[in-house]
């Protein structure tokens, strides 16, 4: 039998490696920006077109590469970061695998321009699908510029799996945020389709957070600082009153590398125990500095998961640090229920002398009943004069009252005839209840063939969905004006999403009086929307658009109606009156598609009499 095992060609191996390294354009952004950081760049510029599908370009002013290094950087397992296996446990850099550029070059058109400071000219290399097309000497500034064009041009199946431009742009911005937050000492710029999205100057950590998420974020942050032998913790957590429905603003950095850790996230959640509302998540931006020997980075293809040697100790320290910060800045409640902080003496008055007690002079010999002499006249205080003819006031009252009693005894009152009505009053009519609520989740109604069981949350979603969809389509809806406009603060990225769906929101009844860089002012809301739910609806809408942007088969109108219906529908566990139950049932069966919710889940089931009888056999 002939041999069947053979070595793969380099371009095929690179394409296979690209399946792990490059999942979407955001993966290319991450790898190129981390390489720029490792090159000691102080300014990094990211340029993307068509959500990275057409172009991803990273320009830095780092150390650059020589001619040999530039050519060798596109070979597999070529890296300047490690020399031996022991170096894997002493990592202080980002990239170390040596597969990033080789994998990217295997599935895209790559153009590299680089120059070291001491060289007079630089190097330009053009690669298409792992094949070097050209290598020239060019004039270029110090640093490196890598342009990745036409991603997945030779793998059309992978390209078809990419999401819409809006989703891919969100993933790119997420990666940009992660890298920029980890390195506030570096200036970052981002351009998308020719327009500037971010311009983050070199700053401290707090300013970097504010520059990314908006000026209003500054008042939401509570500093966390703790240094132990195991870990050094620094950063910020968000105040409980600003907790969001989504998990967007949650960042862990270990040795300046972004990670995801459900275990450490639970430590933060337990520190906020009792301070957060239901279904809300606290924000945090925490940096953890640990000994590189105590962690293993090389356990996940994207390096977003890290294995710690002593997770339990780290969990306890992190939880205690956050809890201490919340208590130190009077965020957490105190145990002294009798103490009123408003009565505390201010620090500026603690050394001030007590005020002098005013002197009160009292005439202790004063007697109000003593006779006094005024201008030759003698008077007695509080002496009343009794009239001499006081008894004449009551003459004739006795005889008059007797006469009135005799007069009233002869009066007769006319009584109305009592007639029985053949119709009962509304109060006497017994209303027959046709619906019942089970476990505050299901509405049960009787039908001719048996029993109808309705999921109240899904049913109400269907009713609201069709209602909103009709309003948006017809472009006619009722709006109630607010006495005081509602002001909401969002990040730059979230404001841009609101701008995109502003017209559709106005068709549902929302009215916007002002939309600025990080602030939205709403002067009118739909009639069915309470003012307190406005922020919840918009947060849910932004999250849905970021994660579930419709493909070409669906419109943004459909997504908007689904998102608003999900936010406003009655929740499981909410008690409904008999009238509300009947209205929900009637409204559901007035819909065009009562069987399914907007998310294609069953809204009701029927149990026939035969099925019930089988249960008793």
CATH number of the domain within which 496 lies = 3.30.1370.100
Give a yes or no: residue 341 inside a domain.
no
Tell whether the model's pLDDT for residue 590 goes beyond 80: yes
Which residue stretches of 152-231 are H helix? 156-160, 165-182, 205-213
Confidence of residue 429 (pLDDT cuts 50, 70, 90): very low
Confidence of residue 236 (pLDDT cuts 50, 70, 90): very high
Give a yes or no: residue 447 inside a domain.
yes
Whichever domain contains 28, its CATH number is 3.30.565.10
Give a yes or no: residue 408 inside a domain.
no
Tell whether the model's pLDDT for residue 68 goes beyond 50: yes
Same domain, yes or no: 238 and 113: no
Tell whether the model's pLDDT for residue 506 goes beyond 60: yes
Average pLDDT in the 603-607 region?
90
Same domain, yes or no: 195 and 236: no
Same domain, yes or no: 196 and 226: no
Same domain, yes or no: 218 and 125: no
CA distance 592 to 454: 16
Q: Which of 184, 200, 216 is the last residue of a domain?
A: 200
Which range of 232-241, 401-410, 549-558 scores highest in mean pLDDT? It is: 232-241
Same domain, yes or no: 270 and 178: no
Average pLDDT in the 427-449 region?
77
Tell whether the model's pLDDT for residue 200 goes beyond 80: yes
Same domain, yes or no: 78 and 187: yes
Give a yes or no: residue 152 inside a domain.
yes
Give a yes or no: residue 386 inside a domain.
no
pLDDT at 275: 83
Strand pairing class (284-289; 372-374): unpaired
For 360-379, the pLDDT digits (tens) are 888 888 887 776 555 555 55
Better pLDDT: 245 or 425: 245
Give a yes or no: residue 241 inside a domain.
yes
Same domain, yes or no: 462 and 582: yes
**Which has the minimum average pLDDT: 95-99, 250-254, 384-388, 603-607?**
95-99
> What is the rounded average pLDDT for all residues in the chain?
80
Same domain, yes or no: 132 and 258: no
Q: Is the dihedral of CA 440, 442, 448, 449 positive or negative?
A: negative
Give a yes or no: residue 372 inside a domain.
no
Whichever domain contains 306, its CATH number is 3.30.230.10
Give a yes or no: residue 239 inside a domain.
yes
Same domain, yes or no: 105 and 231: no
Q: Residue 15 is part of which domain span?
A: 10-200
Same domain, yes or no: 155 and 228: no
Q: Say what percent of the chain tops pLDDT 70.
A: 77
Q: Which of 273, 297, 328 is the last residue of a domain?
A: 328
**Which has the minimum average pLDDT: 80-94, 239-253, 324-338, 504-518?**
80-94
Average pLDDT in the 480-495 region?
83
Average pLDDT in the 193-202 region?
89
CA distance 63 to 45: 15
Q: How many structural domains are present in the chain?
A: 3
Spell out a b/e string for 348-378, using b for 16 or more CB atoms within 10 Å of the CB, else e: eeeeeeeeeeeeeeeeeeeeeeeeeeeeeee
8 A C-beta contact, residue 52 and residue 59: no
Same domain, yes or no: 152 and 235: no
DSSP state of 264: H
CA distance 353 to 519: 48
Average pLDDT in the 47-73 region?
90
Q: Which of 328, 346, 361 is the last residue of a domain?
A: 328
Closest alpha carbon to 443 in 612, 570, 566:
570
Average pLDDT in the 416-439 region?
62
Confidence of residue 201 (pLDDT cuts 50, 70, 90): very high
Same domain, yes or no: 192 and 265: no
Rg of the chain (C-alpha set): 39
């Amino acid at each position: 039998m002939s041999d069947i095992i053979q070595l793969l060609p380099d371009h095929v191996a690179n394409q296979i490696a690209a399946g792990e390294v490059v999942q979407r354009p955001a993966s290319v952004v991450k790898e190129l920006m981390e390489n720029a950081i490792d090159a000691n760049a102080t300014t990094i510029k990211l340029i993307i077109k068509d959500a990275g599908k057409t172009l991803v370009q990273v320009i830095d002013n780092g150390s650059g590469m020589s001619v040999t290094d530039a050519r060798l950087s596109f070979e597999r397992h070529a890296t300047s970061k490690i020399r031996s296996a022991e170096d894997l446990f002493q990592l202080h850099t980002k990239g170390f695998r040596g597969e990033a550029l080789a994998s990217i070059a295997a599935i895209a058109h790559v153009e590299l321009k680089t120059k070291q400071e001491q060289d007079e000219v630089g190097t330009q290399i053009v690669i298409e699908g792992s094949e070097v097309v050209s290598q020239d000497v060019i004039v270029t500034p110090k640093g490196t510029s890598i342009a990745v064009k036409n991603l997945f041009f030779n793998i059309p199946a992978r390209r078809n799996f990419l999401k819409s431009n809006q989703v891919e742009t969100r993933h790119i911005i997420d990666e940009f945020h992660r890298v920029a937050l980890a390195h506030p000492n570096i200036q970052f710029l981002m351009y998308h389709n020719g327009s500037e999205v971010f311009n983050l100057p070199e700053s401290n950590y707090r300013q970097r957070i504010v520059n990314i998420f908006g000026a209003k974020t500054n008042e939401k942050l509570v500093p966390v600082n703790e240094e132990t032998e195991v870990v050094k913790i620094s950063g910020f957590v968000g105040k409980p009153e600003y907790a969001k429905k989504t998990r967007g603003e949650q960042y862990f950095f270990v040795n300046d590398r972004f990670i995801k850790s459900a275990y450490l996230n639970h430590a933060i959640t337990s520190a906020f125990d009792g301070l957060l509302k239901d279904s809300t998540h606290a924000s945090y931006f925490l940096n953890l500095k640990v000994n590189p020997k105590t962690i293993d980075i090389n356990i996940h293809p994207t390096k977003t998961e890290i294995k710690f040697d002593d997770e339990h100790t780290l969990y306890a320290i992190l939880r205690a640090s956050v809890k201490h910060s919340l208590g130190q800045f009077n965020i957490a409640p105190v145990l002294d229920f009798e103490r009123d902080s408003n009565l505390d003496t201010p620090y500026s008055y603690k050394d001030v002398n007590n005020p002098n007690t005013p002197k009160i002079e009292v005439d202790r010999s004063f007697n109000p009943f003593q006779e006094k002499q005024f201008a030759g006249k003698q008077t007695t205080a509080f002496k009343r004069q009794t009239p001499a003819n006081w008894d004449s006031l009551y003459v004739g009252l006795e005889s008059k009252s007797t006469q009135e009693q005799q007069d009233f005894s002869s009066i007769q009152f006319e009584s109305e005839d009592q007639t029985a009505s053949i119709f009962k009053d509304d109060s006497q009519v017994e209303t027959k209840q046709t619906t019942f609520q089970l476990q505050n989740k299901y509405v049960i109604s009787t039908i001719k063939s048996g029993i109808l069981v309705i999921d109240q949350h899904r049913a109400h979603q269907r009713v609201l969905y069709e209602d909103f969809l009709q309003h948006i389509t017809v472009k006619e809806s009722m709006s109630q004006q607010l006495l005081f406009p509602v002001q909401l603060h969002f990040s730059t990225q979230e404001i841009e999403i609101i701008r995109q769906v502003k017209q559709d929101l106005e068709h549902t009844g929302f009215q916007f009086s002002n939309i600025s860089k990080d602030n939205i002012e709403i002067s009118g809301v739909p009639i069915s929307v309470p003012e307190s739910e406005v922020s919840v609806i918009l947060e849910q809408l932004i999250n849905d658009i970021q994660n579930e942007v419709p493909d070409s088969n669906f419109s943004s109108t459909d997504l908007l109606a689904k998102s608003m219906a999900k936010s406003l529908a009655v929740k499981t566990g909410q008690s409904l009156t008999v009238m509300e139950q009947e209205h929900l049932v009637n409204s559901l069966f007035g819909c065009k598609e009562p069987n399914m919710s907007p998310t294609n889940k069953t809204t009701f089931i029927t149990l026939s009499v035969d099925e019930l009888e089988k249960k008793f056999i």
